[in-house]
Structure 1
Amino acid sequence: MSSNQGAPQQLPLGVSLRDDATFDNFYLSGEDANRQVVTALKDFASGQSPEPVIYLWGESGSGVSHLLQSVCQGAEEAARSFQYLPLKDLMAMDPAVMLDGLEQLELVCLDDLHLVEGHPEWQEALFHLYNRVRDSGGQLLLGARKSPRGLDLALADLHSRLQWGLVFQLQPLGDSDKLAALRQRSRLRGFDLPEDVAQYILHRAPRDTGALFQCLETLDRASLMAKRKITIPFVKEVLGI
């Protein structure tokens, strides 16, 4: 996290950004509806967007977390102060303490927002953070698996606040795009994944893109260690599928 003088320092939570969570690594097909989303988020990352709040949602594996971290990578490149907070790792902690002082940053990215359902203390803390960030002139990026209207929140004021900002829904990839995304990701990792191997992985591994990319990462490491090419027999041996 880059920081201004007086801004909170990096939280000692083991929270870090994935090196491969960049805009360049996010697959877009030729006429992908997600292109508009990525363009808006690039402007948001660099500080060129006039929007104070963006709410990004999509089903598991659609790339919400990837894009939130991409925005943080972009903010770091632009020398902006920011913090990425994945709520899935923080729900057991005191929200008032966790969110204190974040309004001093230029950009706050909160992931897994749907997890605050059933947690009134988190909802109240998020409501106050939302107001503090807006009052300070900062920007807030929120990621969730549900739309703001679809969230089941006890705090009506938070529910209404979440619907004020710009809302984007990520569209999931179809099978042909998942295949292309796998091959693109392999090239970015420095090797070419044959189409028949990619097809084999797609039809036997878990279907969401996050799981598919994790399979690819596992295969890449195993291939380097064994000094073997990634073939269907090698996939069977390493992944057991």
Structure 2
Amino acid sequence: MPVRQLPLDLRLRDHSRFDTFHADGNGLAAATLKAMAAGAGERQVFLHGGAGSGKTHLLQAACHEAFAQRRSCAYLPLQELQALDPGAVLDGMEGLELLVLDDLQAVAGQPDWERALFGLINQVRERRGQLLLAARAAPEAIGCRLPDLTSRLGWGPVFRLDQPGDLELKAILQKRAALRGLELSGAVADYLLRHECRELEVLLRLLDRLDLAALAEQRRLTIPFIREQLRRPPGRE
């Protein structure tokens, strides 16, 4: 079953590009994936880190870059696909030039998925394809029951992505706001970090919400405006 026939929205996020990734301590991982997306460098790479560490951003950036290079590529978020038949999801993927699998921890411990992934990784390597893999933890810590699968997940370099600190979060928010044509001052960014969850994905969703509200009300992103928006339930802008 080709990816386009899966009953899910598997489109890449347009903003997940290498030039919008705030690399900081993760520069080597980002450079390695960018080279892979162009068909150079490593045959397989495994990324791990907690929520908000940038795994999905980098994986999708690699897909965007691969498509720009006219290479065959697919991005599969296994968290969303885990309830489906692995044979149907993975059929034909071994022939891609670049295969990207996100959230491997979601299917670890499921015998059907583990057997299918074990076979797929072997087939991709036999065909000289490239694999980008990611999970919340390192290969040996995601709960695989099949030892041979664990060893294959670590066949290439394994990068642990650092969580962004407050300064990095502030820079990311300001850069994302600028891409949207918004001005997010340092004081306003600091206010968000003091009053909201410091998880990057949560902050970016909040920025999306504030952008829509500011556009609808023709307002700037000031502290009084944001304070007013935070008092409103989401969806009530």
TM class by shorter chain equals over 0.9
**1:119 matched to 2:71:** no
Q: Which residue of 2 aligns with 1:137?
A: 128
What is the rounded CA distance, in whole Å, between the counterparts of 1:111 and 1:104 in structure 2?
Answer: 18
Cα distance, 1:25 vs structure 2: 1.2
Q: Which residue of 1 aligns with 2:93?
A: 102
Q: Which residue of 1 aligns with 2:69?
A: 78
Q: Which residue of 1 aligns with 2:18?
A: 23
What is the rounded CA distance, in whole Å, between the counterparts of 2:195 and 2:106 in structure 1?
Answer: 30
Contact 1:8 1:104 in 2 (8 A): no
Contact 2:3 2:89 in 1 (8 A): no
Cα distance, 1:10 vs structure 2: 2.8
Q: Name the amino acid aligned to 1:115.
A: A
**1:48 matched to 2:40:** yes
Contact 1:52 1:165 in 2 (8 A): yes
**1:39 matched to 2:31:** yes
**1:151 matched to 2:142:** yes
Cα distance, 1:9 vs structure 2: 6.0
What is the rounded CA distance, in whole Å, between the counterparts of 2:140 and 2:217 in structure 1?
Answer: 50
**What's the secondary structure of 2:37's corresponding residue?**
helix
**1:10 matched to 2:4:** yes
Cα distance, 1:237 vs structure 2: 2.2
Percent identical? 45
Cα distance, 1:134 vs structure 2: 0.6
Q: Which residue of 2 aligns with 1:4?
A: none
Structure in which a larger fraction of residues adopt helix: 2
Q: Which residue of 2 aligns with 1:174?
A: 165
What is the rounded CA distance, in whole Å, between the counterparts of 2:100 and 2:216 in structure 1?
Answer: 36
**What's the secondary structure of 1:55's corresponding residue?**
strand
Q: Which residue of 2 aligns with 1:190?
A: 181
What is the rounded CA distance, in whole Å, between the counterparts of 2:201 and 2:9 in structure 1?
Answer: 20
5+ residue gaps, structure 2: 233-237
Q: Name the amino acid aligned to 2:208.
A: E
**1:237 matched to 2:233:** no
**What's the secondary structure of 1:149's corresponding residue?**
helix
1:115-154 deviation per Cα after TM superposition (whole angstroms, max 9, x unaligned): 1223111111111110111111111100111011212111
What is the rounded CA distance, in whole Å, between the counterparts of 1:122 and 1:9 in structure 2?
Answer: 17
1:54-98 deviation per Cα after TM superposition (whole angstroms, max 9, x unaligned): 101111111101111110011111111110000111011000110
**TM-score calculated relative to the size of structure 1:** 0.91
5+ residue gaps, structure 1: 1-6
Contact 1:205 1:212 in 2 (8 A): yes
Contact 1:95 1:125 in 2 (8 A): yes
Cα distance, 1:27 vs structure 2: 1.1
Q: Which residue of 2 aligns with 1:218?
A: 209
User: What is the aligned counterpart of 2:50 among 25, 47, 59?
Assistant: 59
Q: Name the amino acid aligned to 1:16.
A: R
